[in-house]
Amino acid sequence: MAARSGRQPGTRTPRRVRDLLRRHEETRGLLVAFEGPDGSGKTTQRKLFARWLESQGHRVFVTKGGSSPLIKPLLQARRKAHALSPEELCLLQAADFRNRLEQEILPALWSGQVVIADRYLFTGLARDAARGLDLDWVLHAYAPLFWPDIVFNFTVSLDTSTSRVASARAPKFYDAGQDVTHLQDPIISYRAFASRVMREYENLAVIFRFVTIDGEQPIYEQHKRIRRLYQEARRTVWGEWNIEALTEWLEWAAAVPEVGREA
C-alpha cells in the first residue's frame, strides 16, 4: 500500500492492532461480494440486495470492479488500445482493487456500513488464471489479501452466459479473451474464454468456500435465498483472517481520522 501521510510505518505492534480490531469487531460493517461470470445475473441481484438492506435500515456502500478513479483512466486507455499483456492486465486490476480497498472499502467497513462488492478480487483471480497466469503469482500481485464475510458465487451454463452477453452487444476485446484466444469473432472467443473462467471459479469456490447461487433460477427466488443466507451467515473475525491487510491500512491511520483518533 502506498504511503498517504507523514506517519511512519511499523508503529503498531501486532498485539495493539489485534486489540484495536477486537474493539471494532461488533461495530464494523460486513463485506459481501457478488461474483460469477458475465451474464450470471449478479448485478441484478446486487441491486436488489442493496435496496433490501437499505429498507432494513442499513447503511450501504457499493463498489464495482475497475472503478478506481486513480487506475480506471489508465486501464481503460490500455484496454481500448489492446495494449496489455496478461501480466500487465493483472497488475493494473490488482492496483485498482488495492486503491478501492484502501480508499473506499476499509473506511466504509470501519464506519459500520455494509459494503457490497460487484466483482471482488476473485474476478481477477479467475480471469488471470484463465489467461494462463500462475495462481500463486496472481495471489502475490493482490497481496495482502482481504477476505469478505460472504461471497455469493453465481453459476450459469456457458450457453446461458453467452446468450445473455450477446443479447446486449458483442463482448469487448479483453472481456471476450481475444488477447489469449486470438480468435477474430468475439462471440466464439467469449465462449472459449468463458469456459476457462468458469472452471477457475469452480476451483476458487472450493478453496474459498463460496456460497453458490443458481443464476438460472427465477430472480425473486435467488433474491430470497440471498437474503436468508445473509441473515444466517457468520462474520469472519478480522483479527484472524485479515490481520496483514488491516495492519498495513492502520499504519497510515492518519488518512482515516476516525481510525487515527482511536488507534
118 domain residue, yes or no? yes
Amino acid at the residue 134? D
Domain, as residue range, for 52: 26-236
Q: Pick from 156, 132, 153: which is nearest to 216 by CA?
A: 156
Domain count, the chain: 1
pLDDT tens digits, one per residue of 38-84: 999 999 999 999 999 999 999 999 999 999 999 999 999 999 999 99
Q: How far apart are CA 140 and CA 124, in angstroms?
A: 12
33 domain residue, yes or no? yes
**DSSP β-bridge partners for residue 154:** 213
20 domain residue, yes or no? no
- Which of the listed ranges 16-25, 190-199, 232-241 does the model predict with the highest average pLDDT? 190-199
Q: pLDDT band for position 7 (50/70/90)?
A: very low
244 domain residue, yes or no? no
Mean pLDDT of 179-191: 98
Q: Which three cell numbers stand for residue 35?
A: 461474483
Q: Which three cell numbers stand for residue 139?
A: 495471489
Q: How far apart are CA 92 and CA 126, in angstroms?
A: 15
246 domain residue, yes or no? no
117 domain residue, yes or no? yes
Q: What are phi and psi of 256, to 5 degrees?
A: -125, 95
69 domain residue, yes or no? yes
Can you give the CATH number for the domain in which 66 is found?
A: 3.40.50.300
227 domain residue, yes or no? yes
pLDDT at residue 188, as a whole number: 98
Answer whether residue 18 shows pLDDT above 70: yes
